[in-house]
Amino acid sequence: MESWPGLPWNAPMVLTMQKVAPALAAGNAIVIKPSPFAPMAVTTALMSVADLFPAGLLSVIHGEGDVGTALVKHPLVRKVSFTGGGRIAKSIMKDAAESLTGVHFELGGNDPAIVLNDAELDTVVPKIAAGVFRRSGQVCFAIKRIYVPDSLYEQFYDQFCSVVDQYQIGHQLDDRATFGPMNNANQYRFVKELAERVRQTNARLVELGQILQSENWNNGYYLRPMVVRDARPEHEVVTCEQFGPLIPIVRYHKEDEVIHWVNATEYGLGSSIWTSDEERATQLAGQIEAGMTFVNGAGQSILGHEMMPFGGIKQSGIGRENSPVGLAEYVEYYALNVHKSD
């Protein structure tokens, strides 16, 4: 089977290998199209990998959307695996429909973090902050909205802001930096404009973190981490995928209320529950509409990386990566039944 994996720019090496390894292991010839925003490392690494295989088994091609369209429509391509945004995925699906080419999509998320009233804030707040702001928020399954019970809201907000304010924002080659820039101008502009619209609401937006080398601030797509207090469930910053360093904190009173808000979205990638009672979390997780739920964490554990199928429902994707389930995405099953004479 010939497959075409399309890759995003936020974690190009990891996401490349999540597709290349199972596709090759399943016996496929593959063509990789890196993101134009992050092509160098992927191309250099795959050149070395390709030398280990027969010529033509692993190829890399560069270009914009027209190149991707040509690949999807090519009659030799039997499977398209794409990680990225929903708009492009819908275009791929339309093109793939012409030849009934199979598709696998790992798309965006609006992952909620639900803090329960028995959570130990000293323990969970730093973990939640890390789950929000890794790669400056440019992660598909990063926490995108936080729901906190009214009884803990003030304490949670104060502790969360205290942790976030310690981030050191600067160039990645500065050893002091713990927080980097946005990847590209379009995403930088989107998050800035979203923040401006938040300021037009009754919610309060605060910018935190310490700026390193302020004289170079305008030489990159730098943004300070932003926290939105008193966000409402219907606010745009809560319902969209920010994909940047901007996080709303929503107050709730009852668990059935927060479950309704959590599920009232077109996304369904990841989610997390933060509590001192794992059994309570397990029961609550069954009510969440998502492909994955993490308990007291914002990503897979060591065992989870190996065994947990990664992917979403609704507009967050089709199919799964990782685990034996992910390998099956690149397999065409064939059945042979030999009838023996009586």
Q: Is 106 a catalytic residue?
A: yes
* Residue boundaries of the structural domains of the chain: 2-107+312-328, 111-304
First to last CA, the chain: 37
pLDDT band at 4 (very low <50, low <70, confident <90, very high): low
pTM as predicted = 0.94
**What are the tens digits of pLDDT across the range 29-56?**
999 999 999 999 999 999 999 999 999 9
111-304 carries CATH number 3.40.309.10: yes
Q: Which fold has domain 2-107+312-328?
A: Aldehyde Dehydrogenase; Chain A, domain 1 (3.40.605)
Edge to edge, the sheet with strand 246-252 lists: 204-207, 226-231, 246-252, 143-149, 111-115, 272-274, 294-295
Q: Which two tokens stand for residue 158?
A: 């104060």
Checking if the pLDDT of 142 tops 90, the result is yes
pLDDT band at 105 (very low <50, low <70, confident <90, very high): very high
The reply to whether 2-107+312-328 and 111-304 are identical in fold is: no
Average of per-residue pLDDT across 249-275 = 97
Q: Is 240 a catalytic residue?
A: no
Catalytically annotated residue among 106, 241, 321, 329: 106
Average of per-residue pLDDT across 6-27 = 89
User: How many angstroms separate the most distant Cα atoms in the chain?
Assistant: 87
Catalytically annotated residue among 2, 98, 140, 215: 140
**What are the tens digits of pLDDT across the range 288-328?**
999 999 999 999 998 988 899 999 999 999 999 999 999 99
**What are the tens digits of pLDDT across the range 65-93?**
899 999 999 999 999 999 999 999 999 99
